[in-house]
Amino acid sequence: MLEQLLEFVINHWILSSVWAVLLILLIKVEGSRGGAAISPAKVTQLINKENAKVIDIRAKDEFRAGHLPAAINIPARDLPKRMSELDAFKETPIILICKTGTTAGASGSLLAKAGFTKLNKLRGGILEWQSSNLPLVKN
């Protein structure tokens, strides 16, 4: 099978090149969807210098097990019906946090459509925050 794929790529190098470029562009667009992916250090900077609001989109039990100080828990599935709670923060930097950093983009897209302009997501999610030995609050 691998030999057939390699033979196809060699025989159709232009088509394969176009496919690779489109795949890279798709990954880039999807990666930036819903805000910029930022490091834990940048999250800390935004919170301290720009009074960023942290929205944790994980389930309530995961949130209670450990979350960033002053984080607001709005599980991703509840975001559409609870978005009005965030209306006052449309021009405030918002940091979305999920478990691994892979699902915050969808919530960010939803907020962007609602007029939120300064969206960010924690790259690597809460797991990256923990691996950086940064503080968590437990309820």
Rounded distance, CA 58 to CA 75, Å? Answer: 5
- Contacts by 70-77 with C-beta closer than 8 Å and gap 24+? 71/97, 71/137, 76/103, 76/106, 76/107
Rounded distance, CA 43 to CA 35, Å? Answer: 13
3-state secondary structure 100-117: CCCCHHHHHHHHHHCCCC
* Average pLDDT over every residue of 20-27: 80
Query: pLDDT for 31-63, tens place per residue?
Result: 556 788 899 999 999 999 999 999 999 999 999
* Average pLDDT over every residue of 78-89: 94
Which structural domains are found in the chain, ordered by start? 1-32 (no CATH), 34-131 (3.40.250.10)
Rounded distance, CA 78 to CA 11, Å? Answer: 50
Rounded distance, CA 10 to CA 21, Å? Answer: 16
* pTM attached to this predicted model: 0.78
